[in-house]
Amino acid sequence: MEDISVLICDDSALMRNLIGRIIDGTEGMKVVGKAMNGQFAVEKVPLLKPDVMVLDIEMPVMNGIEFLKKRKENKWDFPVIILSSVATEGAAVTMQALELGAADFITKPNGSTSADLSSVADRLTELISSYGCQYARRHGRDVYPPEFFYQQAKMRRAEHLVAEKKGGDFLKDKDISSRPLFSSRSSTATLSERTSISSISNSVRPVLDTKKPSFTWTPPTKKDPVVITPMRQGGRIEIIAIGISTGGPNALREVFKDLDPKIKQPILVVQHMPAGFTTEFANSLNRICPLQVQEANDGDVLKAGNIYIAPGNYHIYVEKKGFNYVVRLSQAEQRNGHRPSADVLFESVAKEFQNRALGVIMTGMGRDGAAEITEMRKQGAWTLGQDESSSVVYGMPKVAWELGGVQKQVGLKEMASNINKLAIEHA
C-alpha cells in the first residue's frame, strides 16, 4: 500500500511541527513537504504532487485565500483542508475558502490540554484520510481506505485513555519527558510560539509521542441490505430531513444550488460542524440556493420552503406545538459521538411525521443517522442515500443501506433531482 502524501502550509513553526507529528505518527500517510506561506506552496506543488494539502489562511506574502485562487488558476485538483480559527472573522473567511474550492476545514487547537490536541489529531486524520484517499484512488494509487484510519483513531483514543490513567508513571516508562517536542530555537518561531511550545509540551506528548500503531486490520465486508416491510405506504411529504458529515460542505453546495424553488416542504439539516461556523455556513448556502437557508433557532416555526441548518454543538429535532411544528435545540449528551446528531433529528421526524417525510443520508464517517433513518423507513417514510462512488466517505449511507433504511441510492449529481421529484410529486 502507498502512503497518502500531505503538504503542510502554515507560517507558524509550531503548527507545522504539530501537524507533521500527527501525520507522520499515522500509518498510511506521510508529510511530503512543508511551506511557511502560499508562495512557497505554489512552488512546491508541481514537485511534490501531494494527495492532499493542509492550509492556513492568515499568512504573509501569500495567504490561504490567495493560494486557493492560484490553485484554481493552475487547475490543480488536489483537496485542500483549511486550518481555521473560531473567531467570527475566521468563520467568514473559512466559508470564502470553501466557495473557492477548499474541501473542508479543521479548527486550530484553542487549548493546551491533551484532550483538545487528541480531538484535533482525530479530526485531522479523518479529513486527510477521507479526501486524500478519494483523490489518490481517482489517480490510480493504491492506498488504505478511510476505515483503516478510523480504526487507528479508535486505537489512539484507547491508548490515550490508558496514558491519562497511568499519568506520570506512563510518561516515565516511555521516557518521554526527556525528548524535545518542538525546537524552541527555530528561526521562524515567534516568542509567543516558543512560550506555547513550553506550555503544551507535557500535555501533547501522550497524544503524539507514540510509534505508528501496528495492528491487524481486516477490510469490512459488504452486506446485503436487510429487507424492511414498512408499517404503511409512503404518504404526502410534509418535511425533509438530511444527515451528512465528512464531505458535507461541498456536497450540500452541489445539492442546494439545484433544488427546485417550487419545493414547499421545510428542510432540516444536520451537518457535523463545530460551533461558531454554522451561521456563516448557512449564509454561504443561502447565496447559491433558490430556497431560504438559515441557521436554526430554538422555537422557529417551520415554514414552507425554508431550510434550517443545525447550529454547531446543538442537537436539532422537531416538535408539534398547537397547529404548527417548531424547531427544538438541545445540548443533551452526544449521540454516536456527535452533537448535532443526525439520529436525533431522524428520530423526531419518524415520531412526529411517520410516513409523511423524506429522509436523506449522505457522505460521512461512522454510522450517525443510520439507525433512525431506518426507523423512518419502517414508519413508511421515503428515504434516499448517497451512493459509494460519489461519497467522500461511504460510511453513514453504507450502514443505513445495510440496515435496510435506504429505499434508493443515488449519486451526488443526481441527489437534487431526486429530492425535487419526490418533494414536488408527493407535496
Contact assessment for residue 392 and residue 386, using Cβ atoms and an 8 Å cutoff: no
Catalytic residue among 12, 118, 129, 245: 245
Does the annotation count 260 as an active-site position?
Answer: no
DSSP 411: -
Instruction: Name the 3-class secondary structure at 268.
Output: strand
| Antiparallel, parallel or unpaired: β 80-84 and 104-107 | parallel
Does the annotation count 390 as an active-site position?
Answer: no
Distance CA 200, CA 205 (A): 8
Burial class (CB in 10 A: 0-12, 13-18, 19+), 154: exposed
Catalytic residue among 160, 272, 315, 338: 272
Contact assessment for residue 164 and residue 206, using Cβ atoms and an 8 Å cutoff: yes
- Of 349, 337, 333, 356, nearest to 395 (Cα)? 337
Cα 225 to Cα 132, 242, 401, distances in angstroms: 28, 21, 6
Catalytic residue among 368, 387, 390, 391: 368
Distance CA 334, CA 330 (A): 10
Distance CA 340, CA 192 (A): 35
Helix (H) or strand (E) holding 35: strand 29-35
Does the annotation count 142 as an active-site position?
Answer: no
Active-site annotation, residues = 245, 272, 368
